[in-house]
Amino acid sequence: MASSDQPPSVVEDEKAGTFSWPPLESNPEVFTSYLHSIGLSPTFAIGEVFGFDEDLLAFLPQPVLGVIVCYERLIPKSDYREQDKGSAADYDKVTYYMHQSKKLDNACGIIACLQAIFNCSAIEVDKDSVLGKFQQRTLQSTPQERCEELENDTDFRTIHKTFASKGQSREITSGQNNVKHHFIAYTLSSEGKLVELDGTKLGPVVVGDCGDLLRGSIKEVMGKLERGEISESLSMMTLNFAQD
């Protein structure tokens, strides 16, 4: 999300009490409502992972179509392990990857959702919606072009701000300089590889073979925690079919 190396324009916006793309609360209800409002089919929803124990995981809707993680990073990008920096050479390992620029200050939550949704062929999107039109405009674009397209999408940004004012998101936004958490997504490639999608990295991070998206994502997140890369202040959500 926000960082100390932001450009002057973003810093000025913070002092004025606003972000171009304010932070979102890691709340499945907020994310589900947001995604439905921009065109995700009501057939799909965002769910919450209440814990990593098998007894708790057994209650989650199946199949898991995407994983979204929110955590507090404890180390700078320069200290990432080489295999965790991502690579432009791996763009073709996934259907859709996009960068996150400083202009998209705290858009990481919705960017994580876009990457999870657009990398799952089972997901249905209204082609005439904000989400559907964005997808169609950027399907053949580069990761940087997708980033720039989102920067300039005023309809998308207006809706984003509406949902950033709901629930605890408003409290998060009011503490501008205390925004420390960052959202990323995990997906499975066509080759059965677990792939981390973080728009602030050079490219997708291909983690390795994975037979279960949810459990593979949990294993990777726990590894980050054990290595001291992230704090215990984290949450995980899933993209799945909506439950009746």
Give catalytic residue positions.
108, 182
Judged on CB neighbours under 10 Å (0-12, 13-18, 19+), 241 is middle
Amino acid identity, position 98: M
SS3 assignment, position 196 = strand
DSSP secondary structure string, 67-108?
Answer: EEEEEEE-S-GGGS-GGGS--GGGGGGSS------GGGTTTH
Residue 154 lies inside a defined structural domain of this protein? yes
Rg (CA), the chain: 17
Residue 187 lies inside a defined structural domain of this protein? yes
Each residue's pLDDT tens digit, 134-179: 999 999 999 999 999 999 999 999 999 999 988 554 444 444 555 5
Each residue's pLDDT tens digit, 79-88: 888 989 999 9
Residue 211 lies inside a defined structural domain of this protein? yes
- pLDDT tens, residue order, the chain (244 aa): 443 333 333 333 444 346 789 999 999 999 999 999 999 999 999 999 999 999 999 999 999 999 999 999 998 878 888 989 999 999 999 999 999 999 999 999 999 999 999 999 999 999 999 999 999 999 999 999 999 999 999 999 999 999 998 855 444 444 455 557 999 999 999 999 999 999 999 999 999 999 999 999 999 999 999 999 999 999 999 999 999 7
Residue 156 lies inside a defined structural domain of this protein? yes
Total domain count, the chain: 1
Residue 2 lies inside a defined structural domain of this protein? no
User: What is the CATH number for 202?
Assistant: 3.40.532.10
Residue 3 lies inside a defined structural domain of this protein? no
Structure-token pair, residue 144: 């940087």
Range of the domain at 213: 8-241
Q: Residues 152, 41, 112, 30: what is their CA dihedral angle, to the nearest 10 degrees?
A: 90
Residue 204 lies inside a defined structural domain of this protein? yes
Cβ–Cβ < 8 Å for 197, 115: yes
Residue 1 lies inside a defined structural domain of this protein? no
